[in-house]
Chains A and B, each alone.
Chain A
Amino acid sequence: DAGVIQSPRHEVTEMGQEVTLRCKPISGHNSLFWYRQTMMRGLELLIYFNNNVPIDDSGMPEDRFSAKMPNASFSTLKIQPSEPRDSAVYFCASSYYSGYPNYGYTFGSGTRLTVV
């Protein structure tokens, strides 16, 4: 198993540009999470999906952020337009949820986003 795969690993973009982060969860996992990590705020949950359906997006900071999960093996997090304060490391994680979530989360290696 290749684990949770995120791309790109690093992204540098100019303010105002659209940024799309990608995630491939572990095969068989039915829950997917997008987190953001900064020095100031630590790890923050942005949004999570169960069976490709967004369950809680209350952590999404603004309307500039959107996430989709068109199928069980792919998700995107889009920022449009991007701002310098969006600079952070964005992690995707997946797990198996069966009504009693006994299973741990597996994290991807993250995407380091820098908006200049």
Chain B
Amino acid sequence: KQEVTQIPAALSVPEGENLVLNCSFTDSAIYNLQWFRQDPGKGLTSLLLIQSSQREQTSGRLNASLDKSSGRSTLYIAASQPGDSATYLCAVLHQTGANNLFFGTGTRLTVIP
């Protein structure tokens, strides 16, 4: 069964720092990997989607990379801001023949002003 792990579980950084969130998955037979943001008490907002054939995707200050063979993805946030404080979840769409997304447990990010 596909397992998705995110490290660290929580991260606190001062405003302005660049940071990296990590995601690893056990089975490389994936269609894509998606990074989500979840604010407290809110739903999931999709940040970036990387297809299995791609190496990275960028959106503004966010850059996500994918190394499918090693089962790893990183989310890089440049020049962090207090508004970036949220929980970040990665999820992989596994090639099970079923349309199912496997989620990591998330990294809770706090950016200190």
Classify the secondary structure of A's interface with B: strand
Q: Number of B residues whose C-beta is below 8 Å from A?
A: 22
> Residues of B at under 8 Å CB distance from A?
31-32, 34, 36, 41-46, 49, 51, 89, 91, 93, 98-101, 103, 105-106
Classify the secondary structure of B's interface with A: strand
CB contacts (< 8 Å) of A106 on chain B: these are 46
A93 to B89, CA, bound (A): 15
A48 touches B99 (CB 8 A): yes
Closest to A55 in B: B98
Of A12-20, A62-70, A76-84, A95-103, the one with at least 4 CB within 8 A of chain B:
A95-103
Task: Write 12 A-B pairs (CB below 8 A) sorted by A numbering.
Answer: A33-B101, A42-B103, A42-B106, A56-B100, A93-B101, A95-B99, A101-B93, A102-B32, A102-B51, A104-B46, A110-B42, A110-B43
